[in-house]
Structure 1
Amino acid sequence: MNEFAAKLYEIARKWQERWMKSRIFEVEPDESKPKFFITAAFPYPNSPLHLGHSRTYTITDVYARYLRMRGYNVLFPMGFHYTGTPILTMAESIAKGDRELIELMIEVYDVPPEDIEKLKEPLSLARYFHNDAKMAMIESGYSIDWRREFTTIDEEFKRFIVWQFTKLKEKELIKKGTHPVGWCPFHNMPVGMHDTKGDVEPEIGEFTLILFELEKDLYLPAATLRPETVFGVTNIWVNPKAEYVVVKLDGKRYIVSKRAAFKLRFQRDDVVEEAAIKGEELLGKRARNPATGKAVPILPAEFVDPDTASGIVMSVPAHAPYDYVALEELKREHPEVLERLGVDPDELRPIPLIRVKGYGEIPAKEIVEKMGIKSQKERDLLDEATKKLYSDEYHYGVVREDIIEHVYSDMPEPYRSFAVAPVKAWIAGKSVVEAREAATKWLAALGYGDKMYEVLNRPVYCRCGTEIVVKVLKDQWFIDYGNSEWKKLAYELLNSMRIVPEDMREEFVKTIDWLHERAAARTRGLGTELPWAKGWIIESLSDSTIYMAFYTIIHKIRMYGIKPEQLTVEFWDYVLLGKGSAEEVAKKTGIKREIVEELRRDFDYWYPLDSRHSGRDLVPNHLTFFIFNHAAIFPRDKWPRQIVVNGFVLLEGKKMSKSLRNIVPLRRALRVYGADTVRATLLAAAEILQDANFSEDLAKSVMSQLRKFENYARLSRSMDSEETIADKWLLSMLQQRIEATTKALDELRTRAATINILYEMENDVAKYLELRGGKPGPALKEYIESWTKMMAPIAPHIAEEVWHEILGKDTFVSIETWPSVDPEKRDPEVELIVSYVDKIVEDVKSILRVYKGEAKRLVIAVAKPESWHIARIVSSYVAKRGQLRDAIRAVINAGVPKKDAAQITRKLYEFLRSADEALLSLIDGVQEFDEKAAIVQLKDYIVRKTGIEQIEVYYVDEAENKMPQQKIRQVIPLRPAILIE
C-alpha cells in the first residue's frame, strides 16, 4: 500500500463511522419526496466478496447515491442468502480436511489459519462469511440501510416464503408431476445453479434416440438433436476406445456407453445391464436405418464422447461438419481401415437433405472448406462451424421436395410401404422445424424412436465434486414456469419495464420462452420447508424471487417484537396485497391494528421496486424468476419498474477463477488501493454490460486523479479575487460537465460519468490554471464545490473529506443537492475563444518543431468579424451532413460575391468536416465572433504556451506588409494565417 492509498483507506473508515453514527442512510416513508427503492442480488456467504461481486454493488450504490442527491427518498437495503447446499458442502469438505480447499481459504481468501476451525460447521461458516461480506460492504462505502438486514433462514423470512409458496400453489403454479431435473447422484437430490461448482445452471436437453437395428431385438440408439437428418445417415460412429454395455429396458436391448447405462438408471425404471462390449468390437458391423431400411456400417471416431447421451452417434456428412471432416480424414489418411472393415468409400458419400439459402448442395462440405478445417481434432473450429450451420438450417432450412426419389429410389420392402406416404406428407418440403417434430413422432410411432435427457452444458459438478446427471423425478413438486398464461403475464411485465442496457431485453425474452417446469425443493440444505411436504427444503433460486418486498417491513417486525408465528398467511395477504382488513388480522394474530396498518402503509409506500441490479449470469435464472413471481403474486401497480444488468470483472485481462488462484477478496483490494480507488476503477474500466478489466495501471491512474482532485481543492482556498475570461470559461465548462454527467447517470452509463468526473473535470481545472498563469481566481471555488458533489456518488469518502476538511462545510456531501445547470453561466463565446486560441497554439507549436533559428516574433492575420456569418452557415451544413454545393448556394444568398463564395466555402467546409461536434455546436451558439479580440484577450497565455514574447495580430485587411500576400489570401474564418520570425 502506498502512502496515498493508506490515506484513502483511513479517510474511508473515518467517514463510514460518521455515516453510521449519523444514520443518514436509514430511511422511512416521506410523502414530501419521490421515493426510489433499489436492490442488488444479496450475496451467498460461503466465501468472501471479491472484486467481481463489488462491481454489481458499486454500480447500485452509485445510482442510489446519485438519486438521493437528486432529491429522492432512496431505500437501499441488503440481506444474506443462506439457502441451499453450498454452505453445507463447503463446511463438510473443510471438516473432512480437504487440503486444497483449506489452502484456498488461507492463501486466496485471506482466512487466518486460526479461523479455519470456525468453518467446519455450516452455520458457523455462513455467519463468518456473512460478517466478512457485511464489513466489505461497509468498508466500500455502500449507502445501505442496515436495519433491514436479514438472512433466508431467519424465522420471520421463512414465514414470508411459506406465504409466497402458498400463493403460487393457490394459483396452481406449483404442481406435482414427473419432469427431468439436474441431479446429484451422491446426495440424491435435485440441484440448481447455487448447488454447483462455479454456480452453473444445468441446462437439460432432450436427445432423440433413433434405434438402428444391429440384429434381431438388439439396437444401437443413436442420440441426436436433429432427428430430421436421419434420412441422410451414411454410417454409425462409435468410439473404439470406449466401454459399451448391452442394457435391457422396456423390453428392448440397447448397446450404449457404460456411462450412458449409469445415467439411464436415473431416467428409466428397471435398467438391466447384461454384458460388456468394447467399442472396437462393433467396428465393421452394420445396423439398419429405420427410416430408409439401408444397412449402414459402424466406423471409428474418437470425437464421439461416450459420456454424452448414449455414446452412439449417427453420421450425416452432408449436414454435420464433424461427420464430414471425420469421413474425409478417414478416406484420405486411413483407407486401409475402410478396406479392413469391408466398407466401400463410395457408400459414404454425403446425402444432401436440406436446402438453405447461402449454401450449396452439401452445406457441411462448404462451411468446412470455407473455414479451412482439415482434422476432427480442430474442435474449436468444428464447434463454431457446427453452431453456425445448425442455426442457419434450423431457421432457414427446408427439406428437399424430392427426398422420396433422392433417398428411397432403391429402398427395400417393407420399409418403402410404411415410409413413402408419411415422409411425403409430413417431411418433404417442410421447414426444418416442422420436419424435426414430424420425424420424432413418426419414428416413435413405429417403435424406432426413444428419448434420453442430458446436461447440455456438461460437465457440471455438484459442490461435492460429483458430476450432475439428469433424473426424471416422479410425483415431485415443480414450479410450472412452462404455464402459458403465466408466460403471458411475464412478457407483459417485461414489456412494461426499463431494461438497462436495452440490448439485454432479447435475452429475457428467450429465457421466458424456454423456461419450463423447475424442481421447487431439495432434500438437504438450509432454507424453508415446503409447508405441505415435510422433509423438502425450498431451493435457493425459488426463495429469492420476491424477497425485496420483505425489506420494506422487516425492521419494524423486529422493532415491534412481532413473533414469527404471528406472521400468518392472512397477515401477509393484508400487508402485501391489501386483502382482508387490519381488524381481522389483528384479531387473528394478536398484533395491534395500528401496527398492522403501519406495516401496510410502509409496504405501499416503497413498492413497487424501482430498480433491481444483478450480474449478467443471473438473467437465465434469478432475474427471470423475479419477473415471473412478481407477475404471479402482485397486482400490476406493484410490478417492478427496472432491471439493470452488468458484465463481469477481469483481473489484468484474465478471468478470475479458483484454478488460476487470482481471485482478489474485496477487503484485500480495499486495503491495498483504498475504497474510492476500487470503486472508481471498476466504474472507469468499462460501460455497464462490458467486462471490466481491473488493472494495476488503471488503479494507479484513478488514484492519481483522486490526489489531484484533493490538491486542487486545497488550491481553491487561496484565490485571486480578479475575474478573467478564464473564470467565465471554467464556469461555462462546469455547466457542460453537469449536463453530461447527469445525462450519463440517468442512463446508467457509469463509465462515461466516471471519466467525466475523474478526468475531464481535472483537465478543466488544469486548463483553467494555465489560462490564469497558475493563479486561481474566484471561479475555482464554485467549480470545486460542484465537482465535490459530483464526485460523491463515485468516490464518496474523499468527497466528504474535501467537503468538510478543505471546503469547511458542516453537512454531509452525500445528502447534498446534486448540481444543476445554470444557463446564465453557459458562455459558448468564451468556450469558442479558448478553443480557437488553443488551435492557434497547436499550429504554432507544429511550425516551431520544424522552424530553424530563434523565434522572436509571431504575426497572426485573422478574418474580419463581418465574415463570421459565413462560418455559421457552412457549419450548419456540415453539422447536418449537407452537400457542399448547397452550402455554397447559401453563402451566395447571404451576400458573398459568387467569385469568392465557392473558394471560401470549400475551404471552410473541408476544415469543419474534420472538426468535432463540440466545435460545431459552439459555432452555432455564437452569434458574433471577433478573432482578433479573442487572441488579444489570451495573449499572455499564448506567450506562455509558445515561448514567443512578441505577438502581433491583424485583421486580414490590416495585414498588408506584415506577411506575404500568399499567406493572407489563405485566411478564412477560424483559420488565421501565421508567420514566425
Structure 2
Amino acid sequence: KEWLAEKKYSDILLELTNSPVRCRCGAECVVKILTNQWFLNYRDKAWKEKATKCLDGMSILPQHIRPEFNYVIGWLHERACARQHGLGTKLPWNKEWIVESLSDSVIYMAYYIIAKFVNAGVISAEKLSKEFFDYVFLGIGSSDVSGVPKDIVEEIRAEFSYFYPVDSRHSGRDLVPNHLTFFVLNHVAIFPENNWPQQIVVNGSVLMDGKKMSKSMGNIIPLREAVRKYGADPIRLTILISAELLQDADFNVEAIKGIKNKLASMYEDCTKTKAEKFPELEPEDKWIHGILQNLVLNAGKSMDEIRLREALHHILFDFDSELQWYLKRTKSKQRTNISGILHKILSYRVLMLSPFAPHIAEEMWEKLGHSGLVSQSSWPSVSDVIDPNAIQSEELLKGIMDDIANILKVTKITPNKITIYTADSFKLKAYHFILEKVMAGQTNMGSIMKELIANPETADIKKNPDFVQKTIKDILSVPTEIRKTKLATKEFDEKSLISKELISLAKSDFGVDLQVYSENDSGIYDPKGKARHARPFKPAILIE
C-alpha cells in the first residue's frame, strides 16, 4: 500500500459505510473533500495547557461532567475552521473561505457587544481596525484609533469590561465535544486570563410526554401556540421542575395543568391575605418562622448550584406540608391573629418564585399590597435567629400525632381516651450522651452502654438494656439537621409541652381527651405498663 502510494500508482477513496446519509429534508448528503483547507491546531500542547488551566478554575455544572471536558481537550487535534459555501465571515487572509460556524460562534459574547454599535449605525464595520480590537478586547493601546470617535471606543470598551469575563455559558451535553470545549480553547487563545470564562452549565433536552420532539411525530407545539394555550409561566415551571441539569426535561400536559392549579391557588391566597401586625409569637409561630428561614436558605443554595428543579420543589411544594401543619395548629387553638405571619410567608415565597415565574409573581406581589416590582426586589433575607427549641417542639408534636394516627389505622379502634407517657429525666441525659456519640460517628452499643452505666446520673440505664439500641436507631432515623437541633437543646420539658400544646389538637383530630404523664409521676395511670417504654422524643402511647 505504501509502495503504491509512493509511486503514485494509487489513490484514496473515502466511502461511507452507513450510506446514504440524509439531512432532515430528506436530501442525500455528500461528503466533499476540500483542498487547501484551513485548520485550527488544537493539538498544540501549550494551548491545551492554557485551556486545562482555565477549566480547572471554572465552575462546571453539574460537577460530574467535568471529566468530559478534560477528555475532549486531551484528544482534540486539528479541526477544519473554514468552508466555502453559506453565510459567514470571510477569512481575512483568504477571502475565498468563510469562517466555519463552530469556530466563529464560540466568542460571540464579545461579538454581540460590537454588533450592537454596528447595527445601530454608530460605527462602521469597515473601519474597525486591529488597534480598535486590541484596545476594546485586550486593553492594549489607547482609545485614540482611526475611524471611530474616541468617546465611542471608550463606551464600547466599558461595555465589554462590564460583560467580561463571561459569567456562565449554558448549552446542551451534545456540544461538550465541540462548541463548549472550543468556547474554552478560543477564549484562552484570545483573551488575557482575567477575562477567561467563569462557568459552563450543561443541560439536557426537552421531551414531549416522554418522547423526543420531532416534526415527523407531530408532537411539537409551536412556542406561541403553547404560550397562548397554557401561559408563559406554567410552561417555564413545567419544564424546569421536570428535570435537573443533564436530565431530559419532559413537557407533560398533565404536569402543566397541575402547575397552573398551584399558581392559581397561590394567587388566590395572595388576594385574601393582609399585612397585619404580628401577634406575640406562640410556639407554632416561632416554628414556622424557622421553617421559612430554612426554606430561603435551601432554595438559595439550590439556585447557587443551578439545581432549579430542587429549588422549585422547595418553593412550591416542600413547604406546603409544613404550612398545613401550622394552619392545623392555629385552628385547633381557634386563633384569628395570624394574617400578618401568613402575609410574610407568602411574600417570601413570591419573592423566590419571581425568577421562575415573573409574570404571575408580579400579580401576586401587587395583590399582597407591596409597592414596586417584585423583580426589582431583593432575595429574602435570613435575619431571624432560628429557635432550635421551637423546631424540636413541633417535630415532637407532629411525631406524636402521626404515631396516634398510625396506631388507630392499624388497630381500627375508636378511641375513648389517649394517654401519653414521657421519658424520665435520666433517659434524657442518656439520650444526649448517645446523640453526641452518634454525631461523632460512634455507634457501638456496648461501649456506649459501659460509659452510661459508669456515670451515676445515667447508671439506671442498666435496668433498660434495650434503651441504647432503640435510641441509636431513633437518632439515625432522623435527618442530620434534626439531630443538630436536638443537640442544641439539652433542657427540654416534653410533658409540659405536650400538656400545653397537644390537648386541643388531639381533641380536634381524634375527638377525645388527652392525658399526659411522666413515667416517674406518682399516681400515674398506667394499666398496661406502657410508661417504661417511653424514650426521649418518642413518648409511649396508650389508646383505649
- For residues 819 and 886 of structure 1, the distance between their equivalents in structure 2, rounded to whole angstroms, comes to 46
TM-score (norm 2): 0.90
The residue number in structure 2 matching 1:259 is: none
- Cα distance 1:459–1:797, how it changes in 2: closer, same or farther (>3 A)? farther
- For residues 212 and 258 of structure 2, the distance between their equivalents in structure 1, rounded to whole angstroms, comes to 22
- For residues 247 and 183 of structure 2, the distance between their equivalents in structure 1, rounded to whole angstroms, comes to 23
Q: CA deviation at 1:252?
A: 5.7
The residue number in structure 1 matching 2:497 is: 934
Q: CA deviation at 1:467?
A: 4.4
- For residues 798 and 561 of structure 1, the distance between their equivalents in structure 2, rounded to whole angstroms, comes to 38
The residue number in structure 2 matching 1:962 is: 525
- For residues 853 and 757 of structure 1, the distance between their equivalents in structure 2, rounded to whole angstroms, comes to 38
Are the aligned partners of 1:757 and 1:791 in contact in 2 as well (CA < 8 Å)?
yes
The residue number in structure 2 matching 1:594 is: 151
Are the aligned partners of 2:517 and 2:524 in contact in 1 as well (CA < 8 Å)?
no
| Aligned residue type for 1:841 | M
| Aligned residue type for 1:785 | S
For 1:674-753, what aligned pairs fall within 5 Å after superposition? Answer: 674-717=231-274, 722=279, 723-753=281-311
The residue number in structure 2 matching 1:943 is: 506
The residue number in structure 1 matching 2:487 is: 924
> Could you say what secondary structure the match of 2:218 adopts?
coil
> Could you say what secondary structure the match of 1:663 adopts?
coil
- Cα distance 1:835–1:552, how it changes in 2: closer, same or farther (>3 A)? same
Q: CA deviation at 1:819?
A: 1.3
| Aligned residue type for 2:9 | G
* Alpha-carbon RMSD: 2.8
| Counterpart check, 1:845 vs 2:402 | no
- Cα distance 1:720–1:593, how it changes in 2: closer, same or farther (>3 A)? closer
Output one character per residue of 1:57-113: Cα deviation in whole Å (capped at 9) or x when no partner: xxxxxxxxxxxxxxxxxxxxxxxxxxxxxxxxxxxxxxxxxxxxxxxxxxxxxxxxx
Q: CA deviation at 1:879?
A: 3.7
- For residues 554 and 860 of structure 1, the distance between their equivalents in structure 2, rounded to whole angstroms, comes to 74
Are the aligned partners of 1:844 and 1:946 in contact in 2 as well (CA < 8 Å)?
no
Q: CA deviation at 1:859?
A: 1.2
| Counterpart check, 1:870 vs 2:430 | yes
Which residue of 314, 321, 344 maps to 1:756?
314
The residue number in structure 2 matching 1:529 is: 90
- For residues 948 and 517 of structure 1, the distance between their equivalents in structure 2, rounded to whole angstroms, comes to 79
Which residue of 952, 955, 973 maps to 2:515?
952
TM-score (norm 1): 0.51
Are the aligned partners of 2:275 and 2:343 in contact in 1 as well (CA < 8 Å)?
no
| Aligned residue type for 1:907 | K
Q: Which has the higher contact order (CA 8 A, sep 6+)?
A: 1
Gaps of 5+ in 2: none
> Could you say what secondary structure the match of 1:822 adopts?
coil
For 1:370-769, what aligned pairs fall within 5 Å after superposition? Answer: 460-462=21-23, 465-468=26-29, 470-556=31-117, 561-583=122-144, 585=145, 588-589=146-147, 591-717=148-274, 722=279, 723-769=281-327
Q: CA deviation at 1:925?
A: 2.5
> Could you say what secondary structure the match of 1:640 adopts?
coil
> Could you say what secondary structure the match of 2:224 adopts?
helix
Q: Which has the higher strand share?
A: 1
| Counterpart check, 1:831 vs 2:399 | no
- Cα distance 1:555–1:707, how it changes in 2: closer, same or farther (>3 A)? same
- For residues 959 and 837 of structure 1, the distance between their equivalents in structure 2, rounded to whole angstroms, comes to 24
- Cα distance 1:711–1:929, how it changes in 2: closer, same or farther (>3 A)? farther
The residue number in structure 2 matching 1:204 is: none
| Counterpart check, 1:251 vs 2:44 | no
Q: CA deviation at 1:862?
A: 0.8
Q: CA deviation at 1:868?
A: 2.5
- For residues 865 and 655 of structure 1, the distance between their equivalents in structure 2, rounded to whole angstroms, comes to 62
Which residue of 417, 420, 423 maps to 1:860?
420
Output one character per residue of 1:655-713: Cα deviation in whole Å (capped at 9) or x when no partner: 22233222233323222322221111122112112222222232233223222322332
Q: CA deviation at 1:756?
A: 0.3
Q: CA deviation at 1:497?
A: 1.2
| Counterpart check, 1:980 vs 2:538 | no
- For residues 971 and 730 of structure 1, the distance between their equivalents in structure 2, rounded to whole angstroms, comes to 27
- For residues 438 and 225 of structure 2, the distance between their equivalents in structure 1, rounded to whole angstroms, comes to 52
Output one character per residue of 1:336-363: Cα deviation in whole Å (capped at 9) or x when no partner: xxxxxxxxxxxxxxxxxxxxxxxxxxxx
Which residue of 472, 488, 493 maps to 1:909?
472
Are the aligned partners of 2:362 and 2:375 in contact in 1 as well (CA < 8 Å)?
yes
For 1:29-428, what aligned pairs fall within 5 Å after superposition? Answer: 250-251=8-9, 265=13, 308-309=16-17
Q: CA deviation at 1:482?
A: 2.6
> Could you say what secondary structure the match of 2:303 adopts?
helix
Gaps of 5+ in 1: 1-208, 212-216, 218-248, 254-263, 268-306, 310-454
- Cα distance 1:556–1:533, how it changes in 2: closer, same or farther (>3 A)? closer
- For residues 959 and 904 of structure 1, the distance between their equivalents in structure 2, rounded to whole angstroms, comes to 22
Which residue of 785, 797, 817 maps to 2:347?
785
Q: Is 922-931 or 889-898 further displaced after alignment?
A: 889-898
Q: Percent identity?
A: 39
Are the aligned partners of 1:500 and 1:643 in contact in 2 as well (CA < 8 Å)?
yes
- Cα distance 1:612–1:907, how it changes in 2: closer, same or farther (>3 A)? same
Are the aligned partners of 2:234 and 2:260 in contact in 1 as well (CA < 8 Å)?
yes
- For residues 493 and 499 of structure 1, the distance between their equivalents in structure 2, rounded to whole angstroms, comes to 11
Are the aligned partners of 2:42 and 2:78 in contact in 1 as well (CA < 8 Å)?
yes
The residue number in structure 2 matching 1:892 is: 453
- Cα distance 1:471–1:820, how it changes in 2: closer, same or farther (>3 A)? same
> Could you say what secondary structure the match of 2:220 adopts?
coil
| Aligned residue type for 1:780 | L
| Aligned residue type for 1:599 | I
- For residues 95 and 295 of structure 2, the distance between their equivalents in structure 1, rounded to whole angstroms, comes to 60
Q: CA deviation at 1:556?
A: 4.6
- For residues 121 and 463 of structure 2, the distance between their equivalents in structure 1, rounded to whole angstroms, comes to 85
